[in-house]
Amino acid sequence: MSKKHSVVIVGGGIVGATAGCALAQAGIAVTLIDAHNPAREWPADPVDIRVSALTRASQNILQAVGAWPAMEQRGIGPYDHMHVWDASSAGTLDFDAADTEFTALGHLVENRVTLASLWDRLESLPTASIVCPAKVADLQIASDSAKVVLEDGQILTAELVIAADGRDSVLRQMAGIQTTGWEYKQDGLVATISTEKSHQFTAWQRFLPEGPLAFLPLKNGQCSIVWTLSHQTAQDYLSLSDEDFLQQLEQASDGVMGKILAVGPRGAFPLRFQYANQYSADHFVLIGDAAHAMHPLAGQGANAGLLDAAAIAELIINAQQANRPLGSHKLVRQYERWRKGDNLAMMNSMDMINKMYTAQNEVSRQLRGTGMSWVNHNAWLKNHFNRYAMGLRDDLPTLASTETNA
């Protein structure tokens, strides 16, 4: 049996759920499909090792779709300073919220906090429906609609299908969209740690020969670490005892957090540069990691995905208000033109920085040191980089550019 829907979103992670909330609160009939219903409650400890640094633009989006108050209630961690330094040169960079009109540069939020708050909001909206647990067996694209066939035989027909099912997107493959990219042969090692010194609501990042080590300040005084290492080193470090791992981490940290006292569960994920050659097909678009996967050294992956969600929602809402088709070729191509260039620019910037800082010849070290010091002492340039990193740049979706007060 086939049921007609306005929009079907496959993938209920942060990006897919945000798109769903944005559409449903505008009165558009949207159906979200996911294999898992996320947890809404959990013990206070330990902190989830999956944490995102959400920019000002992302905060605006999450505020606009009604998820931010519940996120604040569950717990978010603002940071007002960022200190970046290079282990192989004298280069340093400092960014401070005091140089902006805001009280914080961004917020560190456990992914489970954001996800639970978005699903709570989605379930409260009358034009939203959730099909869960469910898996997609087939995608059928026709001239006037797209059909999502579930494993249980249910068929959902929609004007537009949005794939938000991650960097190994099954929907992308079903739509016949190819990707370009490569494995970095690096892993991102993540864990939560306790330190002797206060994190001072500062995000610390030290560039090391194998990749950057970031200490991200959490609301409870602990830090979340994201340590980019070669694949082999990361696997070796996962197998170390806590005591031996802390010794390696303390040495790599340059003592900036003092003695590192404890570490929680550790995990590692392989890093990839990947983009979809097209973001769209007839009645079909890709958002989030399904469209692009970038190096995490500046924590921009989730933020780029949230901008995708806000952009496609804005185009759909505008089409609905103008009584135009929601899945037209014009609409999906407009979305692709809007987001693909911005995402590629961010991805290439992250890729260039990663390559520049893992190069260990003398010329590279001198160029890095000189460049960082120059930017650090150029107020206009530093402010430009700071605002860009906060997501406050040109051509933002309306949901992202509507300023919040915090």
DSSP string, 122-150: HHT-TTEEEE-S--EEEEEE-SS-EEEEE
Question: What is the model's pLDDT at position 369?
Answer: 80
Average pLDDT over residues 8-21: 98
More confident residue, 15 or 391: 15
pLDDT tens digits, 191-244:
999 999 999 999 999 999 999 999 999 999 999 999 999 999 999 999 999 999
Q: Which residue has the tokens 């978010």?
A: 76
What proportion of the chain, given as a percentage, has pLDDT over 90? 77
Question: What is the model's pLDDT at position 248?
Answer: 96
Question: Residue 304 and residue 207: Cα distance in Å, rounded?
Answer: 23
What confidence tier does 176 reach under pLDDT thresholds 50, 70, 90? very high
Q: Which two tokens stand for residue 18?
A: 């945000």
**Mean pLDDT, the chain, whole residue set:** 93
Residue 103 reports pLDDT greater than 80: yes
Query: Beta partners for 275?
Result: 180, 292
pLDDT tens digits, 323-363:
999 999 999 999 999 999 999 999 998 888 888 888 778 87
What confidence tier does 264 reach under pLDDT thresholds 50, 70, 90? very high
Question: What is the model's pLDDT at position 366?
Answer: 81
Using alpha carbons only, what angle is made at residue 63 by residues 108 and 203, rounded to the nearest 5 degrees?
15
Read off the pTM: 0.94
Residue 276 reports pLDDT greater than 90: yes
pLDDT tens digits, 144-174:
999 999 999 999 999 999 999 999 999 999 9
Domains of the chain (ranges plus CATH)? 2-181+272-401 (3.50.50.60)
DSSP string, 65-96: TT-HHHHHHH--EEE-EEEEEETTSS-EEEEE
More confident residue, 389 or 174: 174
